[in-house]
């Protein structure tokens, strides 16, 4: 499951940046909304399956123990750095999607919320990218090196 998530985050990052391009450059709010809803639903499903796998199915620590970084504590350090971004990212996305669905309307006419949504969207995008980068580093120090 870790391999799948590490590869999937490449796709998530590309789709996220494409969605931002759709809204910022092309001013295609409808496409941005559709992409973000599909991405949010897919990520929620992956997060649930991933957490079930990590907590109840796989023994990732025994696999990570083979890493040259395990004994020095770098595996755990990178896990905590990754979680520092991953947990707020989840909360930001729940808030972003929930507020957008509630306050934006079908025609995206709520200008006051659009400003807030734009700002929070950039924060969420930054956190999602950092979640991906720190996740890849964690994956590398735990299972590749």
Residue % of the chain over a pLDDT of 70: 97
What pTM did the predictor assign?
0.88
pLDDT tens digit string along 36-59? 999 999 999 999 999 999 889 999
Q: How many residues does the chain have?
A: 145
pLDDT tens digit string along 49-95? 999 998 899 999 999 999 999 999 999 999 999 999 999 999 999 99
> What residue spans define the domains of the chain?
2-144
CB 114 within 8 A of CB 108: yes
Confidence grade of residue 4 (pLDDT, cut at 50, 70, 90): confident
Q: In the prediction, which pLDDT does 87 show?
A: 96
Question: With 90 as the cut, is the pLDDT of residue 106 above it?
Answer: no
Mean pLDDT of 93-110: 84
Q: Which residues contact 143 (CB under 8 A, 6 or more apart)?
A: 2, 63, 64, 67
Closest of 126, 101, 123, 125 to residue 113, by C-alpha: 101
Residue 145 host element (H or E):
none
Identify which has the larger pLDDT, 8 or 79: 79
Confidence grade of residue 119 (pLDDT, cut at 50, 70, 90): very high
d(CA 31, CA 22): 7
Question: With 80 as the cut, is the pLDDT of residue 111 above it?
Answer: no
Q: In the prediction, which pLDDT does 20 show?
A: 94
- Give how far Cα 134 sits from Cα of 29, 32, 93, 111, 142, Å: 30, 25, 18, 34, 12
Q: Nearest 10 degrees: CA dihedral of 60, 133, 131, 69? A: 30
């Amino acid at each position: 499951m870790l391999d799948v998530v590490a590869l999937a985050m490449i796709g998530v990052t590309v789709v996220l940046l494409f969605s931002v391009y759709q809204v910022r450059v092309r001013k295609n709010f409808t496409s941005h909304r559709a992409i973000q809803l599909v991405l949010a639903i897919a990520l929620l499903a992956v997060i649930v399956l991933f957490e079930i796998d990590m907590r109840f199915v796989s023994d990732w620590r025994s696999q990570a123990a083979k890493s040259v970084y395990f004994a020095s504590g770098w595996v755990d350090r990178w896990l905590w750095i990754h979680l520092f971004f991953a947990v707020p990212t989840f909360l930001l996305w729940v808030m972003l999607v929930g507020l957008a669905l509630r306050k934006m309307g079908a025609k995206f006419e709520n200008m006051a919320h659009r400003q807030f949504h734009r700002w929070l969207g950039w924060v969420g995008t930054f956190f999602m990218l950092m979640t991906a980068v720190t996740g890849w580093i964690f994956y590398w120090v735990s299972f590749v090196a």
